[in-house]
Amino acid sequence: MTISTGDRLPDATFVRIGANGPEEVSVETLTKGRKVVIFAVPGAFTPTCHSAHVPSFIRAKDGLDGKGVEEIICVSVNDPFVMKAWGEATGASEAGISLLADGSGAFASAMGLTFDAPAVGLVGRSKRYALMAEDGVVKVLHLEESPGTCERSGGEALLAAI
């Protein structure tokens, strides 16, 4: 079942690179009592994700902050080392956007938002979307029809909807 507006986010564990190496962080910890934006991409360093999706949230960050968003989180079915390098390469980390690894795809699967594109090496990946959640409940959800498109799920589109 695909997640919908009004649903509670499934609990899962992401991995990030902290001061002492890889560390786990739960969806519940990230969202409990907080207003957060989570956007998911099919893969770090992939064309649309790299040139459109992440930059759109860097541009929209100040506006989202002004709407009370406490954290912007980018999630991908990649490992935490790749996510760290990608955050540095795009400027997302410097801009204050958290890039977290859903390495096993457990979160994408629990959200009902996985897809496969074996011809380009993408298997068990997350569909492209952006959402705003308050205290773990989805308030705004923008899903893309195609993984190569970043229109509804871009930072500016989500900002306009909040």
Nearest to 151 by CA among 81, 53, 47: 53
CA dihedral 16, 121, 149, 94 (to 10 degrees): 30
What is the distance between the alpha carbons of residues 78 and 143, in angstroms, rounded to a whole number?
20
- Active-site option among 49, 92, 100, 138: 49
What is the distance between the alpha carbons of residues 116 and 162, in angstroms, rounded to a whole number?
31
Phi and psi, residue 96, nearest 5° = 95, 20
Specify whether the backbone of 15 is left (phi greater than 0), alpha (psi in -120 to 50) or beta. beta
The reply to whether 150 belongs to the active site is: no
What positions carry a catalytic annotation?
49
